[in-house]
Structure 1
Amino acid sequence: MAGLSRSQIEARIRAAQREAERKIKAELDRVNRENKRRVDDYNRKVDQHNRQVLQAQQRRVDAYNAEVARVNAHNQRVNTHNEQTNARNRATISELNRHLRSAASGPRYTPAEQDLADRVQQRAAQHPERDHDAFLSYARIDGSEVGVALRAELELLGASVWFDEVAIIPGKSQALQMDKGLRSARCGIALLTPAYLTGRFWTERELGALLHKETLIPVLHNVTFEQVAEYSGILPDLAGFETARDSVQDIAAKIAAAILPTSTT
């Protein structure tokens, strides 16, 4: 550098620095462009992979939903078929029992009794899940003997009867147990006797609940419908069975024919 002035030397140094800075900047730009290219390429690959994964998941979800819809449609067809079959079976059983009750053999129904049996059978069949076929309400003072006999005959015929002498558990609330028994039965049998019609507490309580059932079956013992009419303006509108006309065995057979089919529908 002999012969160069100080200012020339400084100018050359500045020129060299600018060239170095230019080269560094150019290299940085190149590196940045390369990195951006690699990042963009990586992002494209990630996006493509994610789209493929989402598409595959969507296909599986669509296939699952289609299978669920197919199974639901099949189940609906099965349920509809079962409901139709059950309806036909109930109608068939009802008609068979109507013919049985009208047959020459066995206990004969009066028209009012047959209407009562048909109605009870139809209504009771709507509650196959209940534990008992009947709840037997009676006054112990003058209905115990007939009540025990009626319950025994019904159970011999296969009916399940809620009967306080058997069902009540000592030491527990009698009222609650009776209420539970009323709810557990498909129909109610009210054994109407003179003591029953005096309106004793338990019989009044049970009859009050039974009157709300369309499956109430009155059985009259030592009372007439005229006497019952004096006790209640509701019961005379219902048909009933009378021990003055039929034996307890025949009455049990008539009742069983109405309530037993509910356990087979």
Structure 2
Amino acid sequence: MSHERATDRGLTTQPDSGPIDGKVRTHRLRLLAIGTAAGAALAVGGILAVTSAMGDDPRPQADGKTSTSPGGDKSSVPQGQEFTPATARAVALLPADSTAEGIETGFEHSALGAASAAVSYWEDFDLRDEAIAREQWTEVTSKDSPETIDRGVSGLVGAPTWGDVPNEGSAVVKAILQRSLNDSGDVVVVWMVCDRLAAGGEGASLEDETTHLILKWEDEDWKVTEEAQYATRAGGPRAYHPDSKLAFSEGWRRVARG
């Protein structure tokens, strides 16, 4: 700024000594404009670097390419709105600290810990042995929602929005969306999109099944609950599609595998 004021003052106080001085003044003004533009570019670059370092940039990290839209030029689209679940960074889930009754337990007390617990529970629930399933549901169910155990064993908890769930097989969760259901963040609904694989390669598998679990932080772990005060607030999100910008805006994220 001091250089700019000095230059301006020089231009307004120095007498015009001829055509050569006029060219010098024009050259100085051009240098000033270039310097100002370069400073602005560096400032913007610094802001973007900080944003990326904080993990707010959802773009894939494999390369510097950006996805293109059928609409062509996206220069007028606000940053972030062009991303989809397929092009954004997938969510890496957290590991459990322990296991009990054949199911992982001991997940971190955080939003990501809740999402990790929901995915792990849903993929590990036994669908073939009712006795094992009951032990698992008993282990991860809130003491304030005992009826959830029977409903879980019978396949009624988190009932998908369409289709019949195979009696056998395992689930593979592909995408999640989570929302807090209270002010403290200790009750969370985790919506999941998964494929239900038929056991032993026999029978039909289901793809893109939508289901959900409500988790409550209780006894130092995330427990499944169906308490009415939370179930009525769980709602249903916008449908998931990996290539949908609206699904990304809603909060759907792919689950990282491997």
> Larger % of helix: which?
1
- TM-score (ref. length: structure 1): 0.26
- TM-score (ref. length: structure 2): 0.27
**Structure ID, larger Rg:** 1
Which structure would you say has the larger RCO, counting Cα contacts within 8 Å and 6 or more residues apart? 1
> Larger % of strand: which?
2
